[in-house]
Structures are given as C-alpha cells and as structure tokens.
C-alpha cells in the first residue's frame, strides 16, 4: 500500500514545526521539533480518516508529490 506524502517545515507564525498531509485537507499538526509534529500528525491522520469514514466521505488516494517526503510515521495503517 502506498503511503501518504508528508510536508514538515518551520512556521514563524506558529513558532514551531508544522507537519501536514497535503492529500488530506486540513490534516496537520504542530510541534516544537519535527519529530513532535510528526507524532501529532499520526494522531491527526487517524482522526481525519475515522471522521471521513463515519460521515461516508471519500478518502483520497495518496499521490506522489515532488516536494514532499514519504511519511516517516506509519500512516498507511489507518487507510
């Protein structure tokens, strides 16, 4: 199974790191380190996918995104 791509970067506005899954709109998390942001993103992705299923909404397929990294947390387990 293909994993979702993840973007992680520093946010001056938030004063920390932001991790996001571009294929899941609004699925992002913040942390003082990239690792903490990714840990939060794992929980956010699980909740995003559970909410989509509960409401009968489509779950987007993972796409190859040239400026994103493959997930370093196991997000494909939630799909």
Task: For each of the domains in the chain, give its residue range(s) and CATH number, in order of start.
Answer: 5-78 (3.30.160.250)
Residue 59 CA to residue 3 CA, distance in Å, equals: 13
pTM, entire model = 0.79
Is 77 a residue whose pLDDT tops 80?
no
State the burial class of residue 16 (Cβ atoms within 10 Å of its Cβ: 0-12, 13-18, 19+).
Answer: middle
Q: How far apart are CA 28 and CA 56, in angstroms?
A: 21
* Cα 56 from Cα 60, distance rounded (Å): 13
Euclidean distance between CA atoms 7 and 70, whole angstroms: 9
Q: Answer whether 37's CB lies under 8 Å from 71's CB.
A: no
pLDDT tens digit sequence for 52-71: 999 999 999 988 776 655 55
């Amino acid at each position: 199974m293909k994993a979702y791509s993840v973007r992680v970067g520093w946010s001056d506005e938030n004063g920390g790191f932001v991790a996001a899954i571009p294929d899941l709109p609004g699925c992002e998390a913040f942390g003082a380190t990239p690792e903490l942001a990714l840990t939060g993103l794992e929980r956010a992705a699980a909740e995003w996918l559970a909410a989509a299923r509960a409401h009968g909404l489509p779950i987007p397929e993972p796409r190859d995104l040239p400026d994103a990294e493959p997930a370093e947390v196991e997000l494909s387990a939630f799909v």
